[in-house]
């Protein structure tokens, strides 16, 4: 829900005690799940700053894990998640780093993918780094995430493909490692892109990786 909705001040229905440290943590986990998509057997959470110091009393550790396993912010299971998980190996690390946002986390799944995000208040979140690439995903829109070789014309080629499917682009966020290096693009859409559309982008020359990231409910 956008900030303009009255439901931004009379919801979410959630398990307590903190919208930023509990609901935000669950949503960060859910978002990582939407990005990683595959099943997994191992996860490590690196909690930074306020997440590290007060996370235990706010159930931040439980929330992150529960979200990653697909439980919603109001699921009473969150409280007892540690007793219910058998086949996933999980660990936590606590770090103070003033260069990072006060409530921030790195989620490392199966030693394969590192997803970093912040809980920015009132349950709102943003994913800002995936495997070293700057991204900008807040879970309020369905998003196409792509990694590609930085070169002229990529943005217009991709937006042409999206336009052919009559989908409106809400926002566009690009970043790159260096000129001609590796670049990332996050395209927020008003309606979700189908697999056919993402396949078309996937088959473009110099596109390394594309995925549809579903928005959070």
Partner 1 sequence: MAILSFQDLLEHTKKENKSIYKIAQEEEAALAETDVDVIRLKVTENLIAMREAIKNGLTSTEKSVSNWCGDDCVKLPEKYKRKHALFGQIFEKITTYALATAEENLRMGRIVACPTAGSCGIVPAVIVAVSEEEKIPESKQIDGLLTAGIVGLIISAKVRLAGAVAGCQAECGVASAMAAAALTEMLGGTPGEVIQAVSLALKNILGLTCDPVCGLVEVPCIKRNAFLAVHAVTAAELALCGVESKIPADEVVDTLKITGQLMSPLLKETSQGGLAKTKTALELEKKLGIKG
DSSP, residue by residue, 111-163 = TTEEEEEEEEETTEEEEEEETTEEEEE-SSSEEEEEEEE--TTHHHHHHHHHH
Name the token pair of 36: 């990683």
> Whole-angstrom Cα distance, residue 26 to residue 13?
13
Name the token pair of 87: 């086949």
Name the token pair of 166: 């009559």
Shortest distance (Å) from residue 180 CB to partner 1: 39
To the nearest 10 degrees (0 to 180), the angle between helices 50-58 and 24-36 is 110
Report yes or no: 109 and 43 within 8 Å, Cβ to Cβ.
yes
Shortest distance (Å) from residue 20 CB to partner 1: 7
Report yes or no: 29 and 67 within 8 Å, Cβ to Cβ.
yes
Shortest distance (Å) from residue 49 CB to partner 1: 11
Positions in 163-182 near partner 1 (CB under 8 A): none
Residue 140 touches partner 1, criterion: CB under 8 A: no
Q: Which helix (H) or strand (E) holds 94?
A: strand 89-95
Shortest distance (Å) from residue 24 CB to partner 1: 10
Among 95, 102, 169, 211, binds partner 1 (CB under 8 A): 102
Residue 13 touches partner 1, criterion: CB under 8 A: yes
Q: Which stretch binds partner 1 (CB under 8 A): 72-80, 139-147, 167-175, 192-200?
A: 72-80
Among 44, 56, 157, 159, binds partner 1 (CB under 8 A): 56
Shortest distance (Å) from residue 45 CB to partner 1: 18
Chain length of the chain: 217
Residue 48 touches partner 1, criterion: CB under 8 A: no
Residue 83 touches partner 1, criterion: CB under 8 A: no
Residue 139 touches partner 1, criterion: CB under 8 A: no
Among 29, 59, 117, 139, binds partner 1 (CB under 8 A): 59
Q: Which residue, among 21, 72, 143, 122, has the nearest Cα to 130 in the 3D structure?
A: 143
Q: Which residue has the tokens 């700057």?
A: 134
Residue 185 touches partner 1, criterion: CB under 8 A: no
**Between 54 and 182, CB nearer to partner 1:** 54
Residue 84 touches partner 1, criterion: CB under 8 A: no
Which stretches of the chain bind partner 1, using CB under 8 A?
Answer: 2-20, 22-23, 50, 53-54, 56-59, 62, 74, 76, 78-79, 102, 121-123
């Amino acid at each position: 829900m956008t900030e303009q909705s009255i439901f931004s001040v009379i919801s979410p229905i959630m398990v307590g005690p903190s919208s930023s440290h509990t609901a935000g943590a669950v949503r960060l986990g859910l978002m990582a799940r939407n990005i990683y998509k595959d099943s997994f057997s191992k996860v490590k959470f690196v909690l930074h700053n306020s997440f590290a110091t007060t996370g235990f009393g706010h159930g931040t550790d439980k929330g992150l894990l529960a979200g990653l396993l697909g439980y919603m912010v109001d699921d009473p299971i969150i409280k007892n998640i540690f007793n219910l998980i058998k086949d996933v190996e999980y660990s936590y690390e606590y770090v103070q780093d003033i260069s990072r946002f006060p409530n921030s986390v790195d989620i490392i799944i199966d030693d394969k993918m590192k997803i970093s995000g912040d809980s920015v208040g009132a349950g709102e979140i943003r994913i800002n780094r995936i495997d070293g690439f700057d991204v900008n995903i807040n879970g309020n829109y369905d998003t196409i995430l792509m990694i590609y070789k930085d070169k002229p014309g990529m943005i217009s080629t991709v937006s042409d493909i999206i336009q052919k499917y009559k989908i409106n682009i809400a926002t566009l966020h690009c970043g790159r490692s260096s000129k001609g290096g590796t670049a990332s693009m996050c395209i927020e859409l008003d309606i979700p892109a189908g697999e056919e559309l993402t396949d078309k982008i996937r088959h473009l020359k110099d596109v390394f990786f594309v995925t549809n990231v579903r928005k959070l409910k």
